[in-house]
Amino acid sequence: MNTASSPTAPTGTGAEARTTVVVGADPLRAADVVAVARHGARVEIDPAALVRVAATRALIESLADDPAPHYGISTGFGALATTFIAPERRRQLQASLIRSHAAGTGPEVEEEVVRALQLLRLQTLATGRTGVRPVVVQTYASMLNSRISPVVREYGSLGCSGDLAPLAHVALAAMGEGEVRVPAGADGGGPVAASAALADAGLAPLELREKEGLALINGTDGMLGMLLLALDDLSMLLDTADVAAAMSIESQLGTDAVFAADLMALRPQTGQTASATRLRRLLAGSPIMASHRDPAVCTRVQDAYSLRCSPQVHGGARDTVEHARIVATRELAAAVDNPVVTVDGRVESNGNFHGAPIAYVLDFLAIVVADVASISERRTDRALDPARSNGLPPFLADEVGVDSGMMIAQYAAAGIVSELKRLAVPASVDSIPSSAMQEDHVSMGWASARKLRRAIDGLSRVLAIELLTASRALDLRSPLVPAMPTGAVRDLVRTRAGGPGPDRFLSPEIEAVTDLVASGTVSAAADAALARGPGGAASEIRPDAEPAS
């Protein structure tokens, strides 16, 4: 579950269809960031943006000639802001800033995260509010298009003046220093010298001038990029959670009556209504559900909460995702730098780089990820307990007593859920002072984002285990068959994992189904079945089928 190298990181929705993203005309959309970061879309700079950038640069150069000190232009940085820097030392000042701030450590950060923060920093540079030269904007765009991905390390950002260390590693590579990754070739895909990668792409290393070093590292781009990628993942994973819940409810002979539209209208929560609607559609036309609708066959009054309250939990998570999307959309429209060049030409210090707004929602999402995984694990556990599964064999084992069935798969899910609860502890409530107490309150937003990525990986695995369990349970309800959508997902699972039978090596099957979950294949299979028509069985019920009790 190490997200720095996880092969099963969710890949979200359909942003891959976008092949070119224009930067500088309008604020980027979330789908634009996903397309560039995750699917390799190219970027183009709007010509009008380069005109704005050049005009603002002229203002910075006039201030550089002013004998009065201007922060970041003719002074040091942070706690050294009162130190005046002579003109002949300012290029060294900018280079020293980047070299000293590229102090990350730990495992490498995923390429998609690096590309996201590169793109988001490029967007701010293209606003014309940072004071960099046009060549800086063009170099960042060219690095993205050449698939030059700077090596960024896991630890180093406090989310105070933005993601200083991660952004400094990107700026260092643009200067032709440090290491980068490029598309695998003769080097085998290992890290290469940034100078060599730039030369191979026909790019000249940047020699930074006044203000440019600051402009390249003062931003919330890393935590925002990870938030946008997480939102892409969670939109798909919450749909998948509904599918898994439907399969568990169906295979455990639960009722869908509690998801009725009029009952949902009594509590008009948007996400709850969406999940309940999806559950009704997923279960419509199910012969398994029909087999126990007669009160004479099924005398249970209520299902357990993990079945009955699935739309309430999944829906609350959906609403939290939408709140986080609002915050992310606002941040996409921001020009985060310090100092910043205002529209009327002032150069002003500010605190817009503080990551608190993003950190809060990243932590909020980690909470709901843990809870969605928790209810999923409870549904899995119910399927394995003959006292609660309504007729299924203990642990769905083939020969009870000899075989253990899905027993330890549930242990794995339980262990992940326990870790997700720890990851749900918010990082944003912590703060540790830095820079000689100049940066005395920090957001820890980068840490919030990193643990959310790990949590999302864990949710994918917990849902995969539920899908494996529910698929086996549906098979054990034969000769009754499931609804068309749940049957389609069961059939998809069967392409990667065997059905009921004697015990076998389960780990490869869990990994394979996790890949199906994380890639969005499970959600897409359910959606395709829903699109074919309203309800219907996966296949015909055999004439001699006995109703399940």
Residue 403: which residues within 8 A CB-CB, separation 6 or more? Answer: 395, 397, 502, 503
Would the pLDDT of 44 be above 90?
Answer: yes
Burial profile 400-433: b = 16 or more Cβ within 10 angstroms, e = fewer: eeebbbbeebbebbbebbeebbebbebbbeebee
What is the distance between the terminal CA atoms of the chain, rounded to a whole angstrom? 40
Q: What is the pLDDT of residue 58?
A: 93
Could you tell me which residues are beta bridge partners of residue 347? Answer: 341
Query: What is the mean predicted confidence (pLDDT) over 390-418?
Result: 97
Alpha-carbon distance 362 to 450, whole Å?
Answer: 9
Which sequence spans correspond to the domains of the chain?
20-218, 228-433+442-532
How far is it, in rounded angstroms, from Cα 36 to Cα 333? 17
**Alpha-carbon gap, residue 138 to 502, rounded angstroms:** 61
What is the DSSP secondary structure assignment for residue 80, as one 8-state letter? G
pLDDT at 229: 98
The pLDDT confidence band at residue 17, using thresholds 50, 70 and 90, is low
Most confident of 424-438, 506-520, 524-538: 506-520
Q: What per-residue confidence (pLDDT) applies to 408?
A: 98
**By mean pLDDT, which of 227-241, 243-257, 434-448 is the weakest?**
434-448
Nearest-angstrom CA–CA distance, 249 and 484? 15
Return the bridge partners of 108, or none: 153
Q: Would the pLDDT of 16 be above 90? A: no
Mean pLDDT of 228-236: 98
pLDDT single digits (tens) 75-121: 766 656 667 777 778 888 899 999 999 999 999 999 999 999 999 99
Contact status, residue 355 vs residue 220, Cβ threshold 8 Å: yes
Report pLDDT for 6.
45
pLDDT, average across residues 209-224: 93
To 10 degrees, what angle do helices 221-251 and 445-476 make?
A: 20
Whether the per-residue pLDDT at 238 is higher than 80: the answer is yes
> Can you give 277-326 as a three-state secondary structure string?
HHHHHHHCCCHHHHCCCCCCCCCCCCCCHHHHCHHHHHHHHHHHHHHHHH
DSSP state of 89: G
CA distances from 165 to 152, 211, 236 (A): 8, 17, 31
Which one has a higher pLDDT value, 484 or 346?
Answer: 484
Of 52-56, 272-276, 391-395, 428-432, the one with minimum mean pLDDT is 428-432
Taking the C-alpha atoms of residue 245 and residue 252, their distance in angstroms, rounded to an integer, is 10
**pLDDT band (50, 70, 90) for residue 543:** very low
User: Does this chain's domain 20-218 share its CATH topology with 228-433+442-532?
Assistant: no
Residue range 385-408: average pLDDT?
A: 96
365-385: average pLDDT: 98
> Tokens 């074919």 — which residue?
532
Average pLDDT, the chain: 90
Q: How far is CA 407 from the centre of its chain?
A: 30
Q: Among residues of the chain, what percentage have pLDDT more than 90? A: 75
Catalytically active residues, by annotation: 71
| CA-angle at 231, arms to 229 and 233, nearest 5° | 70
Are the C-beta atoms of residues 455 and 423 closer than 8 Å to each other? Answer: yes
Residue 437 Cα distances to 78, 80, 98, 542, angstroms: 10, 12, 21, 75
Looking at residue 475, its amino acid is D
Which of these ranges, 107-121, 260-274, 436-450, has the smallest mean pLDDT? 436-450
With a pLDDT cut of 70, the percent of the chain lying above it is 90
Which single residue is written with the structure tokens 């998570």?
317
Q: At 478, list the tokens.
A: 């034969």
141 near 23, Cβ under 8 Å?
A: yes
Question: Hey, which residues does 80 pair with through a beta bridge?
Answer: none
In the numeric block, which tokens belong to residue 31? 């789908």
Q: Phi/psi zone of residue 284: left (φ > 0), alpha (ψ -120 to 50 degrees), beta?
A: beta
pLDDT tops 50 at residue 213:
yes
The predicted structure's pLDDT at residue 544: 36
**Average of per-residue pLDDT across 389-395:** 96
Quick check: 203 pLDDT over 80?
A: yes
For the domain spanning 20-218, the CATH number is 1.10.275.10
Q: Which band of pLDDT confidence, cut at 50, 70 and 90, is reported for residue 536? A: low
Q: 228-433+442-532 is classed in which CATH architecture?
A: Up-down Bundle (1.20)
Read off the pLDDT of residues 109-150 as tens digits, 9 standing for 90 and up: 999 999 999 999 999 999 999 999 999 999 999 999 999 999
| pLDDT tier at 548, thresholds 50, 70, 90 | very low
